[in-house]
Amino acid sequence: MLLCVSELATNALVHGVPPGRGFLLRLVPYNEDGGVRIEVHDSGEGAPVLPQQDVQEPCEGGRGMLLVSELADKWGVGVRRPGKIVWCEFVP
């Protein structure tokens, strides 16, 4: 879960935060069984996408959302004005 927090926050800083703006990170319990939802709210345009390159080829970036998609039980993007909410969920 900690890796997903790091990847979503880094993605917001690199791609989703225009100069002079910040982002909001929320960790939210979302069910009685102890599930956790991670949300990152930013004011940037666009939405994160999974990489299309061969993951076997060396590169220094661009795989954060791939990690999130593999580690989390669900992830997605919600609308926010301005910007978006990128989230992922973990079920115990």
User: pLDDT tens digits, the chain, 92 residues: what are they?
Assistant: 999 999 999 999 988 888 888 899 999 998 888 999 999 999 988 888 887 766 566 566 667 899 999 999 999 999 988 899 999 999 98
CA distance 17 to 22: 6
CATH number at residue 14: 3.30.565.10
Domain that holds residue 26: 2-45+63-90
pTM: 0.86
Q: For tokens 């390159």, what's the residue?
A: 53
Q: Which of 84, 5, 4, 3 is nearest to 48 (CA)?
A: 84
Q: Which residue type, as a one-letter code, is found at position 75?
A: W
Q: Is residue 11 classed as helix, strand or coil in its secondary structure?
A: helix
Is 72 part of any domain?
A: yes
Q: How many domains is the chain built from?
A: 1
Is 79 part of any domain?
A: yes
Is 35 part of any domain?
A: yes
Is 58 part of any domain?
A: no
Is 36 part of any domain?
A: yes
Is 13 part of any domain?
A: yes
Is 52 part of any domain?
A: no
